[in-house]
Amino acid sequence: MNTCSNIINVVRQPCFSKTLALPAIPSLSSFQRCSSSCNKKRKALIFLPPAFEEIEVVTPADVLRRGGVEVTIAGLEGKKAMHGLNCVEIKPDKDLDDICDDFDALILTGDDKASNALCGCKRVEKLLKKQEKECKIIAAICSAPTVLMNFGIAKKKCLTSHPDHEEKIRKCGDYKYKCADVVVDDFLITAKGEAQALQWALTILMHLTDERNACCIAKTMLVK
């Protein structure tokens, strides 16, 4: 089976109507068709809260940069270096309060403490609501979909999360919960957790650029 069919095995939603050569990959919706045919460099912002889950930060940052995306890691506590759950230190590129650019993708990573910090940040809420209004990519993994729930972002969309948060999201009633590793619904890209970080990152890359680029990066990383 094709490498991309294996790694980017996402849930196909009705909004993806166009058939692609690789059936396991959803077609591109209108909000991000320009991709590689456009000279504009795509930009992504990864939020870095305290107590972050390291693999969920580093994986999308690495994969997207390999794929030619300009990635900014923005710290909720300024530009100081922070330790994640497993004592891996990451220094943000910028203080979140200094962010004034528009981004093609906003990326939220997980762990409960990190998600609580994101929920308590008005700047995060403002950026997410602007992103939703403009129908630009919002990606969330592990516990981070509960941040979207907290702010009322992407209601009625299909999503997934870490199993520990499934009941809470289902009870909320604002989302269509899917028990899948990675779920794409229009501008929303969600994933279960650490084990799905690479699959999630490649899916984000595909939607920011194109299918060919994501497949190329997957192959160079020896993804099977």
- Residues serving a catalytic function are 142
Distance, CA of 35 to CA of 136 (rounded, Å): 12
Residues 64/43, Cβ–Cβ less than 8 Å: no
The residue type found at 128 is: L
Q: What is residue 11's DSSP assignment?
A: B
Mutual angle of helices 197-208 and 54-66, in 10-degree steps = 40
Please tell me whether residue 167 adopts helix, strand or coil conformation: helix
User: What φ, ψ does residue 60 adopt, rounded to 5°?
Assistant: -65, -35
Distance, CA of 75 to CA of 95 (rounded, Å): 5
The tokens for 31 are 């909000």
Residues 156/145, Cβ–Cβ less than 8 Å: no
Strand partners, 74: 47, 94
